[in-house]
A and B are shown apart, each in its own frame.
Chain A
C-alpha cells in the first residue's frame, strides 16, 4: 500500500505526540498462565505511564478471571480489545506485539497488509521453533524484531535467528504478595511445586523416584501449586520449607523468584532461561542461591533435592544462601520491570520515528512510497 509524504508526516507526528496504540495479542486461556499475566502487567504499566496500550483477546468479552486483581489498573480495568469484534482499526504508527507461538497470526497480519509495526513478544524460547515449520524463521514472515523477557533467552534467539533485533525486559514478583513468614520457625517441611509442562508427568516421575530411593523420607509431602487463588498460592509457597522447580523449558522462571522472596529454599532445573539468576550451591563457592540439577535429569534432581532437604533438616543451610536469594530477587522488582518496559517502548517509538523520518526524507514532495 503506497503512502504519501503527508501521510508519513502524520504518522511521525502521531508518534511524536504519543498518539498511537500498542496492542498485545493475548491468547484466551481459561486456565492460569504466567504469560497472560505478564501481558496484562505490561499493558497496565504502559497505560500508567502515558502510553495507550491494549490487551487484544480473540473472543468478544473474554476475561481471564483467574487473574483476579491483575485485571485491574487502579479503579479501572486494564484496557482490552477483541479481534473478533472487527472494530479494530490499525494505523501505521501503531504497534502489535505477537506471542512467539503464533506465527499464523504474523503471517495473517502480513498478508492483510497491516501497516503497523509487528514485534514478537517472546516469553518462552521453547515455543519459538515448535510453532514454525522446518526452514521457516521470523524473517520469512517479514518480522525481525523481538521483545524478550530474559537475557538467557535472548542469547538463544540470537543464535538461531542472527538477524533479530532484540530488546530485553525483566519480569517482576510482587513483594506485597510474596514474602517470608513472620518467623522462619513457621516453615513446614513440605515441597511446593508447579507441575511440569507435560501435564505433570515428569514432575510426578521425579516425586516417585524420590520416594523409591529415599523411603525414610516418605513423610515429606509434595504440594502442587494448581487451582489455587493468589492468596492460597502465595501462602503455600510462604509456609513451605522447600520449592522444587520442574520447568525444563523456561524463559526465566517466576516461581523460583517467588520462592526466594518467601525464603523458601529451591532445588530444580534451570530450564535454560533460569540461568539468568540461578547459581548452584557448591562447596567451593559462596555465591550459590539454589540446589541446581542438570536440566531434565530426573535422578540428579532427586539427589540435589534430598541434599537440600537434609541440609535444612540438619539446620545447616549457610546464611549466604538466603542472602544470595535476596540479591537475585532484587533484579525482579516492580520498579525494575516498569523501567525496562518503559525503556523498551520509548526506544521502539524513537526507532519508528527515525524509520519514518528516513522514509520522509527519501521522498521528494508529492511522491508516494510503498509502506
Chain B
C-alpha cells in the first residue's frame, strides 16, 4: 500500500515551504511520494521522493487531475492519494494514522480524517474555529457513525476533500474531479463516490490543519463571499452532476436572476 500526497499550487508563496512541506518533513511515517503540481519553479531543492510537475494551470481541480494522470502513467505502484493544499498542514500522525486505518479495513475507497480549521485573522489567530469531516460522527447525521452515506451528504453539504485519502483507482474510475465545478466540487465528488457504491469512512483523528483567512483568498473565504443564490446554485448543480461518471462536456455558470 503506497501513498502519494498531491500539493496543487497556483501562486508563488512561502507558505508552501513553511506549512505544507514543513509538515510533511515532520511525519512520523513518511509518505511514499509527494507530487507538487503548478508553480513548482519556486522550489530549489526537494527530497528524492518528490515529483515536481510544472503547470500554468491555476484551477485546483485541473491541477489535481493532472497530478493523478501523471501518477497513473509514471507511478503505477502508488495506490492511494491525498490532497494537501500548499497553505495547510498535516498533523504529525497523519500518514501513520491513515496507514493503520487502511490496514484495518481494505474494503474502504476513501478515508476522511478530521480537519481542524485554524484561524489566521486577528482574534481568531491560532484558535480552532471549526472542523471538517467531523459531522459524520455526530448523532443523527449518518445512518451509521463514521460513514459517508447519502443521508449524511444531504444533511451536511460540505465535505473537506483535503486531508482525505482516496484509492487512486477509484478516483480515476469515477471520473476524477469535475473541472467545471467552480466551487463545491468536493461535495460533488463525494456524492459521486457514494452514488456509485464506493465505501467512504471517517478516521476519527485529526489529520489536517486548514488555515482559514478572510484576509487572503482561501477556499473558505471564497465560499463565504458567495451570495446565497450562488451558493444554492453550486450545491444544486453538485447534486445533479454526480449522476455523471465522467466530466460532462458543458459549461456550468451561475447567472444572477433578474
Asked if A353 is at the interface (CB within 8 A of a chain B CB), the reply is no
Q: Which residues of A293-344 are within 8 A (CB) of B?
A: 312-316
Number of B interface residues, CB 8 Å?
25
Contacts of B104 in A (CB 8 A): 183, 185-186
From A185, A187, A216, A219, contact of B135 by CB (8 A): A219
Asked if B40 is at the interface (CB within 8 A of a chain A CB), the reply is no
| Interface flags, B124-146, vs A, CB<8A=1, else 0 | 00001111001101110000011
Q: Which residues of B25-60 are within 8 A (CB) of A?
A: none
Name which of B95-103, B157-165, B175-183 contacts chain A.
B95-103
Contacts of B97 in A (CB 8 A): 315
Contacts of A190 in B (CB 8 A): 137, 145
Asked if A221 is at the interface (CB within 8 A of a chain B CB), the reply is yes
Q: How far is the CB of A295 from chain B (nearest CB, A)?
A: 29
Contacts of B114 in A (CB 8 A): 313
The answer to whether A219 and B205 have CB atoms under 8 Å apart is no
A188 in contact with B129 given A221-B138, A313-B205, A314-B205 (CB within 8 Å):
no
Asked if A189 is at the interface (CB within 8 A of a chain B CB), the reply is yes
Contacts of B116 in A (CB 8 A): 216
A-B contacts at CB below 8 angstroms, number? 47
The answer to whether B137 and A219 have CB atoms under 8 Å apart is yes
Asked if B91 is at the interface (CB within 8 A of a chain A CB), the reply is yes
The answer to whether A221 and B206 have CB atoms under 8 Å apart is no
Contacts of A314 in B (CB 8 A): 91-93, 205-206
Q: How far is the CB of B235 from chain A (nearest CB, A)?
A: 21
Q: Which residue of B lies closest to A221 (CB)?
A: B139
Q: How far is the CB of A235 from chain B (nearest CB, A)?
A: 13
A187 to B104, CA, bound (A): 12
A241 to B202, CA, bound (A): 14
Contacts of A220 in B (CB 8 A): 137
Q: Which residue of A lies closest to B203 (CB)?
A: A185
Q: How far is the CB of B56 from chain A (nearest CB, A)?
A: 38
| Interface flags, A178-214, vs B, CB<8A=1, else 0 | 0000010111111000000000000000000000000
Seen from chain A, the residues whose Cβ lies within 8 Å of a Cβ on chain B are 183, 185-190, 216, 218-221, 241, 312-316
Residue pairs across A and B with Cβ atoms less than 8 A apart, 19 shown, are A183-B104, A185-B104, A188-B146, A189-B204, A216-B128, A216-B131, A218-B138, A219-B134, A219-B135, A219-B138, A221-B138, A221-B139, A241-B204, A313-B204, A313-B205, A314-B92, A314-B206, A315-B205, A316-B93
